[in-house]
């Protein structure tokens, strides 16, 4: 008796943020800020078999691996299943990553969230979408791999994170948009999240700017304002490398102004009409010759079973 | 200088509910309960022109008319525009209704919500999605045309309304579902919402059942449980006419068990695989020879600009 279920969670790009990790309760830890979810994300396929002794097998893009965040989600789901059904299970979890890992696109959050949704269904846990997403949030916060991605990815769209916390605890609101544009993303790799989040001076700069910009965005919740505040954050926090600064400058020089840095990654994004998206790709590739470049769209559905 | 914008809001079917209209503040009035949004809804196209004296013209499906709820939304948006820009405007609002009006499909809520989103954009009010939806909620509650539709339609999906109120005030959670089924709807018309909501005996039955069933649904947030609790509510409240009862019975006799009554309308819905949807249509048409029958799907995006 094997039961299967498939989950998807969108990738997520943070434009600016404030770290809110003071509470002890992982459900209350999180971040304020703003960002958006993209149609490139993570697909997770789970197979669940009753057994005498629980086990978890994870593969990513076909390769067996020890993904800590997903592993933690699986452990939490198995605990709930044991409580509810008095039964242990063997879990096979296969993940397909459509986004670069560790480059600011919310890969670990998307992996965790698609896993929790799929396991909730396959293990018949009967959790709501928020409760199921809380497993993913707890796993992310525990491993310090993210703070605000899960609540944003659970909801989708272009979001403002008004109050920090897990889905059902934090508050989120959406910037209305027809989303009829492409999102071009470019990345040359990692910017160490854990290092940035634990450096007191960087934290101070980030938190002062992030807090102020959320208030400014709420006064005029438009895409124009989001982009302009994102650039302010990038400049005020000094998180951008010379490559990022040059790429943004090149895009602006060609008239593509709806661009900024992806937080936290050596990465950029640009909102552009579908017809100009190829052109924007070429500009980014020129500035990031060894980088990864891809074209996506805003995802305004959020995490879901597929 | 004419500015245009287009909004869409899904139709909404309530499965069960508890009336929570005690607070004086319209933003705190609402309902608890459960239901779902459908892809058939209301499209609203607005044209905005600066003028010396504000005016509002509304047409529905090509006919000029005096739609009170939409009119109230327009008035609230004009007030905000005057505050923000010091300018009055002529508004032309054209609405296309894809759902029957007054039959429990949330037509007035969808009309109000698509209008507030479109006007927020065209009048450059800079409101978030929730703030914009609050105009629609206030209009609905003021005219007693609905209590819980707007917060549900703003979010989309199969929802549980855990705490009453406008978007940003009430709490909502989602029943995870791949939504890979058709929703067949049938209606023979109105069930007077205002009359039901002001009859003390009916209110008591509704509220006792609604409150209890939300708690039961939260224990097992699945489509199966939603349908089973919906049928309980229909039977316990005595809101179903003989036609409704016969239609549900006929569907069940043919093996289509995922059906119940639409609250509040002389209407039914049935979740069924795409391939059997035509068959379900025929059964409903036979039970409701003078009714309207249509096939829709779950909308899990919610109100949006288009």
Give the pLDDT score at B197. Answer: 72
pLDDT, average across residues A95-104? 95
8 A C-beta contact, residue B186 and residue B268: yes
Chain A residues with CB under 8 Å of B306 CB are 178
Q: Between residues B223 and A190, which one has the greater pLDDT?
A: B223
> Is pLDDT above 80 for B20?
yes
Q: CA-CA distance, A186 to B143, in Å (whole number)?
A: 50
Whole-structure pTM value: 0.95
**Residue B265, pLDDT score:** 93
Interval B158-177: pLDDT, tens: 999 999 999 999 999 999 99
* Set of chain A residues whose Cβ sits within 8 Å of the Cβ of B121: 176
The answer for residues whose C-beta is within 8 angstroms of residue B235's C-beta and 6 or more apart is none
- Average pLDDT of the segment spanning A132-147: 96
DSSP per residue, A198-253: T-HHHHHHHHHHHHHHHHHHHHS-SHHHHHHHHHHHHHHHT---HHHHHHHHHHHH
Chain B residues lying within 8 Å of A225, measured CB to CB: 126
Q: Which of B128, B222, B301 sits opposite A175 (nearest CB)?
A: B128
Residue percentage of chain A with pLDDT more than 70: 99
pLDDT of residue A2: 84
Which runs of consecutive H residues, i.e. helices, occur in chain B?
Answer: 68-85, 107-122, 129-142, 149-155, 193-197, 200-219, 223-237, 242-253, 277-287
Q: State the ipTM, two decimals.
A: 0.94
Please check whether residue A259 is in contact with residue A276, taking contact to mean a CB–CB distance below 8 angstroms: no
Q: Closest approach of chain A CAs to the CA of B8, in angstroms?
A: 10
Q: How far apart are CA A30 and CA A26, in angstroms?
A: 8
pLDDT tens-digit map of A201-240: 889 999 999 999 999 999 999 999 999 999 999 999 989 9
Residue B76 has pLDDT above 80, yes or no: yes
Asked whether the beta carbons of residue B301 and residue A300 sit closer than 8 angstroms, the reply is: yes
Mean per-residue pLDDT for B223-236? 97
Residues of A at the B interface (Cβ-Cβ below 8 Å)? 6, 117, 120-121, 124, 126-132, 157, 160, 168, 171, 173-179, 218-222, 225, 300-301, 304-306
Neighbours of B253 (CB within 10 A): 10
Range B171-190 average pLDDT? 96
Q: Please report which confidence band the pLDDT of residue B191 belongs to, taking 50, 70 and 90 as the band edges.
A: confident
The residue of chain A nearest to residue B118, with distances taken between CA atoms, is A176
Of the candidates A84, A57, A7, A4, the one whose C-alpha atom is nearest the C-alpha of residue A306 is A7
How far is the CA of B266 from the CAs of B10, B18, B242, in angstroms?
20, 19, 10
Q: Smallest Cα–Cα separation from A118: which of A141, A100, A92?
A: A92
pLDDT per residue as tens digits for the range B24-37: 999 999 999 999 99
Number of CB pairs < 8 Å for A and B?
81
> What's residue A11's pLDDT?
98
Quick check: A248 and A212 in contact, CB under 8 A? no
Average pLDDT of the residues in B248-270? 97
- Per-residue pLDDT at A198: 78
Predicted confidence (pLDDT) per residue in A143-192, tens digit: 989 999 999 999 999 999 999 999 999 999 999 999 999 999 999 988 87
Residue B37 near residue B300 (C-beta atoms within 8 A): yes
Q: Residue A18: is its pLDDT beyond 90?
A: yes
Asked if A301's CB is within 8 angstroms of B120's CB, the reply is no
pLDDT attached to residue A47 = 98
User: What is the per-residue pLDDT for B137?
Assistant: 98
Can you give the pLDDT at residue A191?
Answer: 82
Contact A126/B219, CB-based, under 8 Å? yes
Helix (H) or strand (E) holding B303: none
B269, pLDDT greater than 80: yes
Q: pLDDT value at position A192? A: 73
């Amino acid at each position: 008796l094997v039961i299967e279920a498939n989950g998807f969670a969108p990738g997520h790009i943070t434009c600016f943020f404030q770290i809110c990790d003071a509470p002890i309760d992982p459900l209350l830890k999180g971040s304020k800020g703003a960002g958006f979810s993209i149609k490139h994300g993570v697909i997770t396929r789970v197979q669940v078999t009753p057994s005498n002794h629980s086990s978890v097998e994870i593969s990513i893009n076909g390769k067996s691996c020890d993904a800590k965040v997903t592993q933690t989600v699986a452990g939490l789901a198995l605990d709930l299943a044991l409580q509810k059904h008095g039964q242990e299970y063997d879990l096979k979890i296969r993940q397909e990553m459509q986004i670069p890992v560790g480059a600011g696109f919310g890969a670990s959050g998307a992996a965790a969230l698609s896993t929790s949704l799929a396991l909730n269904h396959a293990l018949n846990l009967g959790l709501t979408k928020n409760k199921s997403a809380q497993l993913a949030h707890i796993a992310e916060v525990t491993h310090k791999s993210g703070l605000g991605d899960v609540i944003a990815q659970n909801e989708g769209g272009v979001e403002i994170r008004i109050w920090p916390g897990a889905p059902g605890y934090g508050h989120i609101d959406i910037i209305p948009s027809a989303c009829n544009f492409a999102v071009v993303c470019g990345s040359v790799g990692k910017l160490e999240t854990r290092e940035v989040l634990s450096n007191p001076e960087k934290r101070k700069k980030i938190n002062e700017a992030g807090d102020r910009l959320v208030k400014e965005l709420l006064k005029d919740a438009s895409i124009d304002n989001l982009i302009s505040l994102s650039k302010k954050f990038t400049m005020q926090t000094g998180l951008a490398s010379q490559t990022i600064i040059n790429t943004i400058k090149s895009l602006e020089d060609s008239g593509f102004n709806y661009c900024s840095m992806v937080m936290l990654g050596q990465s950029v994004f640009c909102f552009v009409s579908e017809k100009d998206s190829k052109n924007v790709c070429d500009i980014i590739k020129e500035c990031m010759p060894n980088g990864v470049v891809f074209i996506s769209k805003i995802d305004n559905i959020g995490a879901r079973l597929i």
